[in-house]
């Protein structure tokens, strides 16, 4: 949750402030707690070597008298993302190292991750710890995040693969190193995972495009849980329109065409949120046969 704390003088003055601007990198006001967190985790779990190797850092780091301290304080004015890269790699290496470990170790790691997330949140960082504690991702608006959570929960109840694809799409779109093409592809697959079995159960090679065509041609057979202006169940035009947007917007699905183009970051984020809504609607029964 976003902190609602305000300075004493602002509270006494009744001052209301807009949502704080998110800060990129590791700003000065959280530099010390982040450095202390990094040092403790790196030293406790002996993570200096795997982190340095994963990031392909100069050998001087590991040759230093205190590799943990060298990593915890590593900074580069030419690369303001480097500190975040170290944090991200530390979380990833830690998660990998503890695969198969007992509950106590996992709970300890979760505690460290929550501690870091609290620092980032209170410091208005643009980044947050990922849901699985395996790295950093860009912080999302809380309303949008709630939509994603509901969709993932609904997707998991009907088709686990839908929830998995949706989580992967979110990570690819908002991770420290976003991959718009992968995010968009996963978003489409998330919708296909719930839509194909429901609308095209006997199709040998179902796709979102075929589901879209099926609903467009047979829209009179379906209705929405929400009412239209007359009070009757609404039609599914909005569903078809959203599926069309998601399907046709993936311009890198095939190469060499006159409209082929790389997927932009903005398009990928839009696709992920559109997919979340569709997965939620389909999984929760908001789209139903008459």
Query: Range with the lowest mean pLDDT among 152-156, 176-180, 190-194?
Result: 152-156
- What is the mean pLDDT of the segment spanning 211-232? 95
- Cβ atoms of 68 and 76 within 8 Å: the answer is no
Q: How confident is the model at residue 77 (pLDDT cuts 50, 70, 90)?
A: confident
Gap between the Cα atoms of 38 and 24, Å rounded? 18
Please indicate whether residue 260 or residue 160 has the higher confidence score (pLDDT). 260
Model confidence pLDDT, tens digit, residues 56-70: 999 999 999 999 999
Classify the C-alpha dihedral 215-216-217-222 as positive or negative: positive
Model confidence pLDDT, tens digit, residues 85-128: 999 999 999 888 877 777 777 788 889 999 999 999 888 888 99
Work out the burial of residue 42: count CB atoms within 10 Å of its CB; fewer than 13 is exposed, 13-18 middle, 19 or more buried.
Answer: buried
Q: Where are the domains of the chain?
A: 8-138, 142-289
Tell me what pLDDT residue 1 has. 42
142-289 classified as CATH 3.40.50: no
What pTM did the predictor assign?
0.72
Q: What are phi and psi of 44, to 5 degrees?
A: -60, -40
Work out the burial of residue 19: count CB atoms within 10 Å of its CB; fewer than 13 is exposed, 13-18 middle, 19 or more buried.
Answer: exposed
CB neighbour list of residue 264: distance below 8 Å, 6 or more residues apart: 180
Work out the burial of residue 131: count CB atoms within 10 Å of its CB; fewer than 13 is exposed, 13-18 middle, 19 or more buried.
Answer: middle
């Amino acid at each position: 949750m976003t902190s609602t704390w305000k300075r004493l003088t602002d509270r006494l003055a009744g001052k209301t402030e807009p949502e704080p601007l998110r800060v990129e990198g590791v700003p000065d006001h959280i530099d010390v707690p982040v450095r202390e967190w990094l040092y403790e985790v790196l030293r406790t779990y002996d993570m200096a070597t795997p982190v340095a190797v994963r990031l392909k850092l100069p050998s001087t780091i590991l040759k230093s008298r205190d590799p943990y301290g060298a990593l915890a304080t590593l900074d580069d004015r030419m690369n303001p993302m480097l500190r975040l890269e170290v944090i991200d790699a530390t979380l990833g290496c830690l998660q990998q190292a503890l695969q198969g470990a007992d509950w106590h170790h996992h709970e300890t790691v979760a505690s460290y991750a929550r501690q870091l997330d609290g620092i980032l949140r209170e410091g208005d960082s643009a980044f947050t710890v990922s849901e699985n504690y395996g790295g950093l991702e860009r912080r999302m608006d809380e309303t949008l995040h709630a939509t994603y959570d509901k969709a993932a929960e609904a997707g998991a109840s009907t088709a686990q693969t839908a929830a998995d694809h949706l989580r992967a799409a979110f990570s690819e779109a908002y991770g420290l190193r976003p991959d718009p093409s992968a995010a968009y592809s996963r978003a489409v697959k998330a919708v296909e995972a719930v839509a194909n079995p429901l609308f095209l159960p006997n199709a040998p090679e179902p796709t979102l495009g075929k589901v879209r065509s099926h609903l467009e041609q047979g829209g009179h057979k379906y209705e929405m849980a929400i009412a239209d202006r007359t009070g009757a169940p609404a039609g599914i035009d909005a569903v078809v329109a959203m599926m069309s947007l998601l399907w046709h917007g993936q311009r890198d699905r095939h190469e060499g065409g006159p409209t082929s183009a790389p997927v932009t970051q903005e398009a990928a984020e839009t696709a992920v949120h559109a997919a979340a809504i569709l997965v939620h609607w389909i999984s929760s029964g908001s789209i139903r046969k008459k």
